A and B are shown apart, each in its own frame.
Chain A
Amino acid sequence: MLYCSFRLLLFLCYLTGTALSQSDAKIAGTVVDRNGNSIIGANVFLVDSYDGATSFEGGRFSFSTALQGEQILRVTFLGYEDTELPVNLNGDSLNLHITLAVGALELDQVVITAGSFAAGGEKRREVLQPLDIVTTAGATADLAGVFNTLPGTQAVGEEGRLFVRGGEGREAKTFIDGMLVQNFYSPAAPNTPSRSRFLPFMFSGASFSTGGYSAEYGQALSSALVLHSKPVANQNRLDISLMSVGVDAAFTKAWDASSLSGKLQYTNIDPYFSLINQDIDWIDPPTSYEGSFAYRKKMGTSGILKLFGNGNHSSFSLNRYSLDEPGQPIWTDLRNNYAYFNATLHDELAGGWIYRAGTSLTYNHDRIGLNQDEVDQPELGFHGKFTLQKRISAELELKTGTEYFLTDFQQTLRDAGEGEVFSAGFTDHLPAFFAEADLHLSAKLLARVGLRSEYYSLSRDWHVAPRASLAYKTGGNSQISAAIGRYQQAPATEQRLHAPTLRPEKATHYILNYQIMREGRTFRIETYHKDYDDLIKYQSPREGSPSMHTNAGSGFARGIDLFWRDNRTIKNVDYWFSYSFLDTRRDYRDFPEAAVPSFASRHNFSIVYKQFVPTIKSQIGATFRYASGRPYHDPNEPGFQNRQTKAYQDLSFNLSYLISQNMILHASATNVLGRNNIFGREFASRPDEEGIYASRAIRQPARRFLFLGLFITLSKDQVLNQLPNL
């Protein structure tokens, strides 16, 4: 009996002893960030056990454990890097002081904003959202149209493409998932804005940079528009659009880990032109057939494969009238075939490296008929790219990559009588390497240094472009950024055709930026200076081709950009305001001296206003754009670039009405005030008998553009609509 009790007692003592020793092994301490501020809410625990606690006031935590020996203590908190440390549990209490480093996705992390506007990824704090592309009046659902309402761009109404900070249209390049797109814009009739070939619905986000961009992007002197295509789709749907300018149909089929989308589109503007008189002697107004597809597949746990293809045939013909022989129409016929293919694959590798591999292929073929002559211009572009990146530590992130660009351009001029009269072409190979490091010097200070090196096969030389930027957080919502860098780009195709060995054109950007973003409101101011050198100069005789091409040109652009956006002050109202001041001169092409080029206007501003009106289930919008006069050269007057046009003004409206859950009616009108905008003047190449050069204004073929469309979406539950896509 006693013996029995003794054994029981021993057993119980053993049990209680264990229980007591459990309470003895206490782990306590504090969790702080790098600046010594305590972190409340951090999860502190022993890996593979339930034992742990949450840090409270003062970052303090405390818990007990029954575990013994070598264990791993893990500390996690949203926005910070997970931290692990080995602990040896031998019954003694531990007192630990843990410091957490800011994670890659910290909420108020400092980011480099100099020169760039981020759009999309609708969750993050960004300046634009994907929907803005559709609902901005005057943008006519065109990608370039909406970016043209941001500061740093100039209104060049007869072109429609992006002109950034005193740079020509060709200095702004577009990248889809990191891959270069050649011939981003569709061909357009004279003085009619061209549209980008890619529909906004393909993209989930974009970053529009007006300077100072990363070493990853080359062959762009002034601007990089970086578009991110959508991920794997998760819904089956069919979209049908009936528009005043054509029809299209799109489908999406979604599987577990992949999706396929396709779109067919037919555009014919003839019925519209028969209603709205155009100041163009059309023979065949523009028509186009287009097909595109997108395939997405998840590979393994972290990889994703994206394929995209797009093919287009478009044509138009018209009579043009030269000022030299006003009575003689010049029959002009343009046929364009275009194909673009893009494939990218990215995945994680062992050791935390992430790779991205991509290739893009662009084929563009123009056939232009001019009376009896025919110009035949096939162009092939290839871009291959491989990048590796890794976050080495909380302080250092590395990105490195190699690229290869191929451009093959041929031009043949044929005459009906004489056959081939001129033929030229070039093939350019351009390998490039880049490396870039992000240094998180403190929670408030981020530095990025990068280097890009390119080899130009035609001029047979290497060109190195160093770039650096810095961002400093001045408050919870505000920061200052600065950037400096060298940028280079191969000369324009038509110039390389005449002089293939020209060196690249170069620019140096200096940018200083301040930005403050608070719940629904954004203000930014940016000032910049840009020096151009090695610009192409040539001599342009009255007759015949330009000659004597050199890299002797130069120029500069400087200015201030302002931006304000507010979608909070008034309910259901969102508006933004942009102003750009530009001072630029360049001595390039056949300029006799440094002068302001014809595409540059000194003051640009735009106001975009959007209001959702719940009572009529509609979103209405208005955009006003103003650009001060642009210079042009009048040979009847002394001097160069001696005259200036009147200011450009455009007030546009749009309306999107939700008829039912899956049906939207969209209407828009540009230039509702009917202002006669003059973009410049063109002059005869020879003076008439009285010694005067005849001239005429370059203007819009029609003052307004009206658009009406009905967008229908068929999905299983009839709950989707095209509003996010339009």
Chain B
Amino acid sequence: MKAFCITLGLLAITFMSFRTPSGYLEIMQENIQQLYEAQAIEELQSVVNAFTRIAQAEQKEWHPLYYAAFGNIMMSSRAEATSVKDQYLDQAEELVKQANERVEKESELKALEGFVQMMRVAVDPAGRGPQYSGLATQTLSRAVQMDPKNPRALTLLAQMEMGTARFFGSEPAEACAKLDKAIALFGNDQPEHPLDPAWGLESARAAKQQCP
């Protein structure tokens, strides 16, 4: 009887924990994992929607908005039409803005803002380069200032600097030094908060390939 009771109890608990991953942290971690793995726009949209739902239920947390914005940037990079790309970027910009109302001076959010501006240039380099590339560089520098140990901000800034150096035909030495620093930082990146972003190492390595 006792064994039956315990088995039943365990079963019930397993069943329940399987049914409802109850805590904010667990649900967030599950969705972050899905976001990093998502490829198609539909998958991204689905996980962005999940973050949006969490964001409206957890009015004090900035992480859900951060990941929703990041998901929109990813969708923008996968979309075909210029106007659709811009719509996702508009959405990302708006989400970052909302997230900034929930947390004071967060370097990760500044970096994401710069990422959006960088993507605007990518949509139409000739038409927007003059307007947005300087802006993106400035925003990303500010993100690095806010947290010099933020490897994502450093990587994005290095990518911008690389493009500029290539344009002016100069050596991307500074950008490469930043990438080395970023890669080292990725290595001992100890998140302050379990939900802090962890992406970017692969882009840093890919950019590093272009260094002499």
Contacts and interface: CB of A to CB of B under 8 A. Distances in A.
A716 B27 CA distance: 42
B127 A123 contact: no
23 contacts: A5-B2, A19-B20, A43-B53, A50-B27, A50-B54, A52-B49, A52-B53, A54-B45, A54-B46, A56-B42, A78-B91, A107-B84, A107-B87, A123-B89, A124-B86, A131-B127, A235-B138, A660-B168, A661-B168, A715-B138, A717-B137, A719-B164, A721-B130
A76 B95 CA distance: 15
A16 B164 CA distance: 61
Contacts of B198: none
A19 B15 contact: yes
Nearest to A656: B130
A163 B141 CA distance: 47
B8 interface: yes
Interface in B98-131: 120, 126-128, 130-131
A309 B92 CA distance: 35
Contacts of B1: 2, 5
Contact of A125 (B50, B83, B141): B83
A129 B5 contact: no
Interface string B33-75: 0000000001001100110111011000000000000000000
A326 interface: no
B127 A129 contact: yes
Contacts of B12: 12, 15-16, 19
Nearest to B18: A19
Interface of B: 1-2, 5, 8-9, 12-13, 15-16, 19-20, 27, 42, 45-46, 49-50, 52-54, 56-57, 81-84, 86-91, 120, 126-128, 130-131, 133-135, 137-138, 141, 164, 167-168
A717 B131 CA distance: 15
Contacts of B87: 78-79, 107
Given A54-B49, A107-B84, A720 B138 contact: yes
Contacts of B90: 123
A46 to B, nearest CB: 9
Interface in A119-145: 122-125, 129-131
Given A43-B52, A50-B53, A723 B130 contact: yes
Interface string A58-86: 00000000100000000010110000000
Contacts of B49: 41, 43, 45, 52-54
Question: Mostly helix, strand, loop or mixed at chain A's interface?
Answer: loop
Given A22-B19, A715-B138, A719-B133, 19 more contacts: A8-B9, A9-B5, A9-B8, A15-B13, A16-B15, A19-B19, A23-B19, A50-B27, A52-B49, A52-B53, A54-B49, A76-B52, A78-B91, A107-B83, A130-B131, A519-B81, A520-B82, A717-B137, A724-B130
A661 B127 contact: no
A572 interface: yes
Contacts of B127: 122, 129, 131, 567, 574
A22 B20 contact: yes
A484 to B, nearest CB: 30
A545 interface: no
A16 B137 contact: no
Contacts of A574: 126-127
A15 B16 contact: yes
B5 A8 contact: yes
Nearest to B2: A5
Interface residues of A, number: 55
Contact of A721 (B50, B84, B134): B134
Contact of A661 (B9, B27, B164): B164
Interface in A540-573: 567, 572
Nearest to B161: A719
A328 B87 CA distance: 67
A287 to B, nearest CB: 31
A16 B16 contact: yes
A49 B57 contact: yes
Contacts of B88: 78
Contacts of A717: 137-138, 141
A612 interface: yes
Nearest to A108: B83
Given A5-B5, A22-B20, A41 B42 contact: yes
A719 B126 CA distance: 17
Please give me the 9 A-B residue pairs with the lowest Cβ-Cβ distance, nearest first.
Answer: A723-B130, A43-B49, A720-B134, A54-B46, A41-B45, A719-B137, A719-B134, A724-B131, A54-B49
A614 interface: yes
A617 B168 contact: yes
Contacts of A715: 134, 138
A710 B1 CA distance: 92
A416 to B, nearest CB: 54
Contacts of B16: 15-16, 19
B71 to A, nearest CB: 12
A66 B16 CA distance: 12
A48 interface: yes
Contacts of A78: 87-88, 91
Contacts of B15: 16, 19
Contacts of A130: 131
